[in-house]
Amino acid sequence: MTLATAVGRADPEGVSAINGKQNSTASGAQTGGRHRGTGGQLWVRCLLWWELAWWDFLYLVMPGECVVCGRDDAALCRDCARLLRQQCATPYRAESSADALVSAWGQVLLPVVAAGVYRDATSVAILAFKNHGRTSLGSHLGRALAGGLDALPQLLPNLADRELVLVPVPSSGASWRRRGYDPVALMLRAIAREHRLPAGMQVIPALAVKMRPPWRSRRQKSLGRAARRANVRNTLRMRGNLGPGFRRSANLAGALVVVVDDVLTTGSTLAEATKTLEKAGAIVCAAVVLAAARAPDQLAAETSIERHLENIFVQKMNIRMR
């Protein structure tokens, strides 16, 4: 039994063992951004028209609005979707903003690639997706996360042309009961559904959260840096229900693993996931996140004009809608 078959039988979320697929282009053809355009054939135009009509019907029955600017009949309007793509168009190395991923001597313990900065439209969309049940944003955020996966070989050349295993950071039991879904798994499913997973990568949800008493469970968002590290210590474990006849230690030993998460703050969760996977014999070579929060020293280094523009982002979006 292969690793993909064993995980696929045991994973109820349907994101495991997704083999990477990459669209082939003809020699000499120009490759550009992957986004929706106008269908050239009649059946494609009819399909797009019926899809738009279906969404119009849904918004008529269940009205919605853009999570960023408040425009009606769209989870993320066209202008805000373009703004999200622009803010996540240039992935970058983000481990310097996470003190848990850098030693006291400045040595990088785990390189991290972030699709964008946790600010403006990106932060609003992520918060709505995670905390307000706007699951329709999974495809938009999944495309941004796919951009970070595509940029992994360029930002980390030693991973080029290597077989990589993507291991998502799981949600805690309390978060699952509150949301009803796993945000990272939902984005990875959207990436696989749209065939945006780079070649040579597969998704295996090998991590799970240990059960803890309710009085010992605390939300990371309300904690400081030191408390975050203490809160996630020894909270992850390897999944044990991957099917009969499957030995994880024999299959993950020597495998190159990339940890996937949504937001990078202090890096405590990524550090804990790395420790758990390395105990199982995996080689954790990098991490990819959707967005990275900036460290306080980086915020202080910004100019007053940049801070002013960021603070009045909501006002700018409201003025645009007038």
pLDDT at 238 over 60: yes
Q: Three-state DSSP class for 101?
A: helix
Give, as one character, the DSSP assignment of residue 109: S
More confident call, 99 vs 220 = 99
Q: Residue 241's CB: how many other CB atoms inside 10 A?
A: 11
pLDDT at 181 over 60: yes
pLDDT at 261 over 80: yes
Cα dihedral: 200, 118, 212, 214 (round 10):
-150
Assess contact for 259 and 290: CB atoms under 8 A: no
What pLDDT score was predicted for residue 188?
Answer: 95
Give the structural domain span for 182: 3-19+89-321
- Does 237 reside within a domain? yes
**Per-residue exposure over 253-288, b if at least 16 CB sit within 10 Å of its own CB, e if not:** eebbbbbbbbbbbbbbbbbbbbebbeebebebbbbb
Highest mean pLDDT of the ranges 3-7, 218-222, 272-276:
272-276
pLDDT at 156 over 90: yes
- Does 54 reside within a domain? no
Q: How many CA atoms lie within 13 A of 145 on its CB side?
A: 32
Highest mean pLDDT of the ranges 68-77, 213-222, 257-266:
257-266
The first and second tokens of residue 122, run together, are 């990106």
pLDDT at 249 over 50: no
- Does 62 reside within a domain? no
- Does 278 reside within a domain? yes
Strand partners, 168: 260
pLDDT > 70 in the chain, percent:
67
pLDDT at 82 over 50: yes
- Does 8 reside within a domain? yes
Q: Residue 136's CB: how many other CB atoms inside 10 A?
A: 16
What pLDDT score was predicted for residue 275?
Answer: 93
What pLDDT score was predicted for residue 5?
Answer: 38
- Does 293 reside within a domain? yes
Domains in the chain, number: 1
pLDDT at 80 over 70: yes
The first and second tokens of residue 15, run together, are 């994101």
pLDDT at 59 over 80: no
More confident call, 10 vs 61 = 61
- Does 9 reside within a domain? yes
Q: Residue 54's CB: how many other CB atoms inside 10 A?
A: 10
What pLDDT score was predicted for residue 217?
Answer: 59
Highest mean pLDDT of the ranges 30-44, 193-207, 226-240, 304-318:
193-207
**Which contiguous run of DSSP H or E holds residue 96?**
none
More confident call, 210 vs 285 = 285
The first and second tokens of residue 198, run together, are 């780079």
Of 19-23, 135-139, 258-262, the range with the lowest mean pLDDT is: 19-23
Confidence of residue 34 (pLDDT cuts 50, 70, 90): very low
More confident call, 148 vs 77 = 148
- Does 75 reside within a domain? no
**Using CA atoms, how far apart are residues 239 and 205, in angstroms rounded to an integer?**
8
Q: Stretch 86-93: mean pLDDT, rounded?
A: 95
Highest mean pLDDT of the ranges 52-66, 233-247, 301-315:
52-66
pTM over 0.85: no
More confident call, 73 vs 100 = 100
What pLDDT score was predicted for residue 318?
Answer: 52
